[in-house]
Amino acid sequence: MSKIICSAAIRGAYQIVDKADKKLTEAIEQKGRDCKVEFPNTAYYLPIIYAMTGIPVKTLEDCVHIIGMARSMLPPLPAEKHWVPYLGHTLDAGMATLFAEEVYEVCKYLIGPPPVDGIWLGAADDIIMRERGIEFVDGTAPGFAAIVGCAPDADTAVKIARELQEKNLYVFMQSDNLGISFAEQLEEKGVQMGWDTRLVPFGKETSAAVYSLGFANRAALSFGNVPPGEARRNLLYNKNRIFAFVLALGTAVTDEQYANAAGAINYGFPTITNIDIPEILPTGVCTYEHVVSRVPVDKIVDRCIEVRGLKISIHKVDIPVAYGPAFEGERIRKDDMQIEIGGPGVPAFEFVCTKEADEVEDGKIQVIGPDLDDMPQGPGVSIGIVAEVTGRKMQPDFEPIFERQMHRFLGEAQGIFHMGQRDIIRHRISKDAFKAGLRLKHIGKIIHAKFHGEFGAIIDKVQVTLYTKKEDVEGKLKEVRAAFAERDARLGDMTDDSVNLFYSCTLCQSFAPSHVCIVTPERSGLCGSVSWLDGKAGYEINPTGPNQPIEKRKVIDDRLGQWDGTNEFLYSSSNRALEKVSLYSIMTDPMTSCGCFECISAMLPMANGIMVVDRDFTEMTPSGMKFSTMAGTVGGGLQTPGFMGHSKFYLGSKKFISADGGLARVVWMPKALKEELSEQLEKASKEMDLENFLDKIADETVAQTEEEVVEYMQKINHPALSMDPMF
């Protein structure tokens, strides 16, 4: 263990604890000891402290106790001559640093300077946490780089950021070097930052590093079902499942930065830097080396991946712009766009159809009509994209699955913004992408490459035709819409009773080891992105993957939705943690959740019904809990009667908690969610003879507590009032 690093880290820890103590004293003077503290719209209190100690920090008085705990963890500074090279002292100093910095940062939310300011985003709220968590689950985001300091210049910063994006990593930015930060360098070059592009600027102070490490802790608590207070399990979870590293850039490392690096090593997150500092090469806490220095900036990203032990899978797409999931959230403003495809009143579509083998020439890409060079700049462009595919295992039922994936495939190209599907699409291509050489043929190249790359087990050949004359697009739309209608009718007739196989989705088990999604024709995956047909296609594509067929076999309880086949699969696939699951009940052995659900349903005992809340609703609910709090009760592979995670689609299903009374049990949901699902809910309520039912569901405009919900139900005579008790 380097004495220089150890001494610096411990000195830095003392400085940070003192700084946090001073900030806390100021906050108490201004707000009082009973003042509540929180990172806005987040569960798990101050997540590092909560994960490591189990202590819920709720007030400034609680923070006083934490600062005292941090001080008690500070080791003595290494002696000049008789120094013991003990890593534990440095790790303790690192953890004391993180405890103190969480207190310091939460006090900033009370008395300033505000953590959310300009480009700085502060703590990620729980909506972002759960939306982005699925990307760490399914591997589209293999890890994150916590960047400290700044690059030698702004152009190099952009180059490093793009390289990390192309490797699908998140980039968390905090701290500075001599007053300049990596995020400010990206801003100087006009790089779009935020969660959508995976370039996340947390804060300019070094203390903002707690937002990166807190994100990792929250992943373990939320998805991994690691109980608060079990520090060792949380740290091991992060070492083995959250592949992160510290990338330190600049000309020197401060004592405070050393202290934070020591904190990160506790998690198994190594530090890699271009700066000339001592190295810690022996393995131990980290998978490989702990500190690697003097790495040239043009090779530092690859060295980071090597040291952390990351496995990156990249399939090169032959187009003149960067390509990867990091660009899917890119927004192209009106002033920055070359053209806009589709939109209101502009005919445009995307269509996948199955052909015979002799009708498809693999790799053939045609643009029938003018290309971008011959189109006027701006909106109003009509394009029809037809992808014709063939393969021995190809089935017409897979066509809508491939169409939905086109949104992701095209959106991952830098300079292409993609929205919608089928005949309701709106795309933009940026001026920068056009200048780089991007043309419409490259859209065809992306589709060809990605269809082969991800559906190669099913597809043998792909050809793509792009129609750009408005009259051609309108002519094709007639036959395309007829195909859509036929397809919808075919899928709409499928029910749970009409099939003998359901499909599993265990994609999220890397975060929630005991969770198993069982997907049926009438119940999609709780994340909303996996239908029964998706499960079927997933199994065809990868027979050993997360989507496995489940034979229903003997009926145990038809009302609850229990079969011996589903129970047996659950028991074996949940690592023998769970024995039974009821697909149609929220009260009896409900299905588990990983944490990626679109909605949570929760029983309201006084109302004899349930409330439904989606992740976009951040206010208090009638249950007395926010979405983020309930998510901790439901997620992590737990089976909690009275609570259930599910997709929005499931609310319109005839099987929605049918064992407990179905849709008629819904007594409250957020107004925005009710409006979003109005057409679906109205159709379902009519089929159940629930007259004017949508108006009978309370929302936050008429009821904010359970008592107010009951009062509203009595006023409008909600059907749940006369139903059998739920328990």
pLDDT tens per residue across span 175-200:
999 999 999 999 999 999 999 899 99
Is the pLDDT at 413 greater than 70? The verdict is: yes
- 153 and 67 co-located in one domain: yes
> Is the distance from CB of 542 to CB of 456 less than 8 angstroms?
no
Residue whose pair of structure tokens reads 């086949």 in the numeric block: 565
- 66 and 7 co-located in one domain: yes
Find out whether the peptide bond into 670 is cis, omega within 30 degrees of 0.
no
The reported pLDDT for the residue numbered 552 is 95
Most confidently modeled range among 163-167, 263-267, 309-313: 263-267
609 to 23, 177, 626: CA distances (angstroms): 46, 56, 18
Query: Which strand (E) or helix (H) includes residue 490?
Result: helix 470-492
Q: How many separate domains does the chain show?
A: 3
- Residue 157 burial class via C-beta count within 10 angstroms: exposed 0-12, middle 13-18, buried 19 and up: buried
- Domain with residue 19: its CATH number is 3.40.50.2030
Dihedral sign for Cα atoms in the order 295, 298, 303, 305: positive
Is the pLDDT at 138 greater than 80? The verdict is: no
Residue 301 lies in a domain: yes
Residue 727 lies in a domain: no
Is the pLDDT at 201 greater than 90? The verdict is: yes
> Is the distance from CB of 319 to CB of 438 less than 8 angstroms?
yes
The reported pLDDT for the residue numbered 423 is 84
| Euclidean distance between CA atoms 515 and 577, whole angstroms | 9
Q: What is the pLDDT of residues 520-571, one digit of tens each?
A: 999 988 887 788 888 888 888 778 888 899 999 999 999 999 999 999 999 9
Dihedral sign for Cα atoms in the order 52, 55, 58, 63: negative
Is the pLDDT at 315 greater than 70? The verdict is: no
Is the pLDDT at 620 greater than 90? The verdict is: yes
Residue whose pair of structure tokens reads 């990868």 in the numeric block: 542
The reported pLDDT for the residue numbered 84 is 56
Nearest in space to 466 (alpha carbons), one of 482, 449, 485, 446: 446
> Is the distance from CB of 154 to CB of 185 less than 8 angstroms?
yes
- Domain with residue 626: its CATH number is 3.40.1470.10
Residue 189 lies in a domain: yes
- Domain with residue 425: its CATH number is 3.30.1650.10
HEC profile for 503-516?
Answer: EEECHHHHCCCCCC
The reported pLDDT for the residue numbered 491 is 64
Is the pLDDT at 374 greater than 80? The verdict is: yes
Residue 314 lies in a domain: no
Q: What is the pLDDT of residues 606-616, one digit of tens each?
A: 999 999 999 88
- 456 and 526 co-located in one domain: no
| Euclidean distance between CA atoms 489 and 531, whole angstroms | 16
Residue 318 lies in a domain: no
Nearest in space to 353 (alpha carbons), one of 384, 387, 383: 387
Q: Number of helices and strands (H, E) in the chain?
A: 22, 23
Q: Backbone phi, then psi, for 551, in 5-degree steps?
A: -75, 125
Amino acid at 253: V
Query: Going by C-beta distance under 8 Å and a sequence separation of 6 or more, which residues neighbour residue 320?
Result: 436, 437, 438, 442
| Euclidean distance between CA atoms 481 and 351, whole angstroms | 9
DSSP code of 353? E
- 429 and 393 co-located in one domain: yes
- 332 and 428 co-located in one domain: yes
Residue 313 lies in a domain: no
- 336 and 458 co-located in one domain: yes
Supply the pTM of this predicted model: 0.73
- 143 and 267 co-located in one domain: yes
Is the pLDDT at 136 greater than 90? The verdict is: no
Q: Which two tokens stand for residue 66?
A: 């934490």
| Euclidean distance between CA atoms 655 and 658, whole angstroms | 5
| Euclidean distance between CA atoms 37 and 103, whole angstroms | 9
Of the chain, the end-to-end C-alpha distance in Å amounts to 60
The reported pLDDT for the residue numbered 454 is 82
Is the pLDDT at 31 greater than 90? The verdict is: yes
Please give the distance of CA 144 from its chain centroid, rounded to a whole number: 13
Residue whose pair of structure tokens reads 């969660």 in the numeric block: 195
Is the pLDDT at 438 greater than 70? The verdict is: yes
Q: Determine the average pLDDT of the residues in 422-427.
A: 84
Nearest in space to 389 (alpha carbons), one of 378, 403, 376, 375: 403
- 652 and 716 co-located in one domain: yes
Q: What is the pLDDT of residues 218-252, one digit of tens each?
A: 988 887 778 999 999 999 999 988 889 999 999 99
> Is the distance from CB of 127 to CB of 618 less than 8 angstroms?
yes
Q: What is the pLDDT of residues 74-105, one digit of tens each?
A: 998 877 665 555 678 899 999 999 999 999 99
Q: Determine the average pLDDT of the residues in 158-179.
A: 92
Angle, vertex CA 406, rays to CA 404 and CA 410, nearest 5: 145
Is the pLDDT at 348 greater than 60? The verdict is: yes
- 458 and 547 co-located in one domain: no
The least confident of 22-26, 78-82, 373-377 is 78-82
- 331 and 470 co-located in one domain: yes
- 502 and 435 co-located in one domain: no
Which residue, of 485, 517, 545, is where some domain finishes?
485
Q: Which domain holds residue 703?
A: 497-722
Q: Is residue 3 very low, low, confident or very high in pLDDT (cuts 50, 70, 90)?
A: confident
Most confidently modeled range among 37-41, 66-70, 84-88: 66-70
| Euclidean distance between CA atoms 223 and 226, whole angstroms | 8
In 117-218 the beta strands, taken as DSSP E runs, fall at 143-149, 170-174, 199-203
Which residue, of 465, 485, 505, is where some domain finishes?
485
Mean model confidence pLDDT for the chain: 90
| Euclidean distance between CA atoms 227 and 222, whole angstroms | 9
Q: What is the pLDDT of residues 472-509, one digit of tens each?
A: 999 999 899 888 888 777 666 789 999 999 999 987 77
Q: Which two tokens stand for residue 328?
A: 């899917």
717 to 543, 547, 697: CA distances (angstroms): 51, 44, 11
Residue 110 lies in a domain: yes
Go through the chain and tell me how many residues it has. 727
- 554 and 686 co-located in one domain: yes
Residue 623 lies in a domain: yes
Which residue, of 275, 308, 341, is where some domain finishes?
308
Nearest in space to 317 (alpha carbons), one of 468, 144, 454, 157: 454
Q: Determine the average pLDDT of the residues in 158-174.
A: 92
Nearest in space to 98 (alpha carbons), one of 136, 51, 145: 51
